Amino acid sequence: MNDNAETATVTALIAAARKLSENVGQMSFAPPVSHVYNPLEYAWAPHEQYLRRFGGERKRVVFLGMNPGPFGMAQCGIPFGEIAAVRDWMGLAAPVGKPARENPERPVEGFACTRSEVSGKRLWALFRERFGSAEAFFAGHFVANYCPLAFFDAARNLTPDKLPRRESEPLYAACDAHLRELAGILQPEWVVGVGGFAEKRAALALQGARIRIGKLLHPSPASPAANRGWAEAAARQLRDQGIWD
């Protein structure tokens, strides 16, 4: 792909992410949600760096997560953003600000965060083991989140599927529209939902598109199956679906 095409792809990704951030940033959520984080606002600098570094060409496979984890994307703006993987493997680092209302139970420390995002650690370790360098992985793959917002009930992480319908419907509509736009920009053969929620949303949002929908066991430590050799199970799933050789 020539430089002009790469620049156009990155420009489109950045514009789409900004639009999504603006759309969901106007939404309000009632208790039990106590705090809402939008890392596409306060952690925009590393997110833009991610898009510019790794989003500049068509991708065969897009892995789709659910929403930011409290010690991953909520800290550094990168999907499944385990700090060590983002900083040391991807070579990304940029200043991170603070959300408008910071949760004292889940402070944003940016790249100084010492807590590990286990899901991200497992996911990026699998990709590193198979591809070696980040550049080799991102040559044909990309990782995104369906929803850019993190929700908290004090110290408890709330996932989008726990929201009442009056709040989830407009949120899903904005996220569906962004996913369709992302797919139009990157033109993947596969969109692989990391976990059942992401797979379901991808199938609904991309219905009628000439894109194959895959599924990957979520690497969360909350899943007993993920704690029994997740990397081996995930690699086997990807091979069985024909996504990897």
Question: At residue 178, does pLDDT exceed 90?
Answer: yes
Q: What's the pLDDT score for residue 4?
A: 52
Return the axis-axis angle of helices 3-25 and 165-186, rounded to nearest 10°: 170
Question: At residue 2, does pLDDT exceed 60?
Answer: no
Give 6-49 pLDDT, tens digit per residue: 689 999 999 999 999 999 999 999 999 999 999 999 999 999 99
Q: How far apart are CA 77 and CA 18, in angstroms?
A: 13
In this structure, is residue 245 part of a structural domain? no
CATH number at residue 101: 3.40.470.10
Backbone phi, then psi, for 103, in 5-degree steps?
-80, 115
When divided into structural domains, the chain yields a total of 1
* Residues making up the chain, counted from first to last: 245
Question: At residue 122, does pLDDT exceed 90?
Answer: yes
Q: What's the pLDDT score for residue 7?
A: 83
Question: At residue 3, does pLDDT exceed 60?
Answer: no
Q: What's the pLDDT score for residue 5?
A: 54
Domain holding 88, by residue range, is 3-240
Asked if residues 95 and 50 have their Cβ atoms less than 8 Å apart, the reply is no
Confidence band for 1, pLDDT divided at 50, 70 and 90: very low
Q: How far apart are CA 40 and CA 190, in angstroms?
A: 25
Give 197-240 pLDDT, tens digit per residue: 999 999 999 999 999 999 999 999 989 999 999 999 999 999 99
Q: Which residue in the block uniquely carries the two structure tokens 């639009």? A: 19
In this structure, is residue 231 part of a structural domain? yes
In this structure, is residue 230 part of a structural domain? yes
In this structure, is residue 93 part of a structural domain? yes
Backbone phi, then psi, for 125, in 5-degree steps?
-65, -40
In this structure, is residue 90 part of a structural domain? yes
The encoded tokens of residue 129 equal 């083991």
Give 74-117 pLDDT, tens digit per residue: 999 999 999 999 999 999 999 999 999 999 999 999 999 999 99
Question: At residue 151, does pLDDT exceed 90?
Answer: yes
Q: Hey, how many other C-beta atoms are within 10 angstroms of the C-beta on 95? A: 11
Averaged pLDDT for residues 183-191 = 98
In this structure, is residue 21 part of a structural domain? yes
